């Protein structure tokens, strides 16, 4: 179950980075993973590992809210097609299925 939560945290952060940088999502997944790892690593250096995990959770919650606001704004402005062209790509679907399959085993 923890892997599924981690998966959704990575995806929400990646979608937020995709929206901000206007890149495709498969290019922002590594940025999201490295950023989350770096936050936890730096907090672990100072013996505050739990604080690092809480910061990552907070960033994921903020990214989720940001994504929801952007999606609502895109629906209102009728720019859904442009938004989905960056997020829903064939390569992302393959990465999504592979990662989800690994997490479920």
User: What pLDDT sits at residue 2?
Assistant: 73
Longest dimension (CA), the chain: 48
User: What pLDDT sits at residue 103?
Assistant: 66
Residue 25 pLDDT more than 90? no
In tens, the pLDDT along 72-84 reads 888 888 777 666 7
In tens, the pLDDT along 3-21 reads 778 888 988 999 899 889 9
In tens, the pLDDT along 81-101 reads 666 776 777 777 777 677 767
Q: Name the CA dihedral angle for 86, 17, 68, 62, rounded to a multiple of 10 degrees.
A: 170
In tens, the pLDDT along 45-59 reads 999 999 999 999 999
Please give the structure tokens belonging to residue 64.
């989720």
Place of tokens 């994504």: 67
Is the dihedral angle over the CA atoms 56, 33, 86, 101 positive or is it negative?
Answer: negative
* Residues above pLDDT 90, as percent of the chain: 39
Q: Could you tell me which residue, 80 or 41, shows the higher pLDDT?
A: 41
Could you give the CA distance from residue 34 to residue 85 in angstroms, rounded to a whole number? 24
């Amino acid at each position: 179950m923890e892997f599924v939560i981690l998966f959704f945290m990575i995806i929400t952060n990646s979608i937020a980075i995709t929206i901000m940088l206007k890149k495709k999502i498969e290019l922002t997944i590594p940025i999201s993973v490295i950023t989350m790892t770096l936050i936890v690593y730096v907090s672990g250096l100072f013996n505050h590992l739990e604080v690092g995990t809480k910061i990552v959770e907070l960033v994921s919650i903020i990214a989720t809210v940001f994504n929801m606001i952007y999606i609502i704004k895109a629906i209102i402005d009728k720019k859904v097609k442009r938004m989905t062209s960056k997020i829903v790509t064939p390569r992302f679907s393959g990465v999504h299925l592979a990662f989800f399959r690994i997490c479920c085993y």
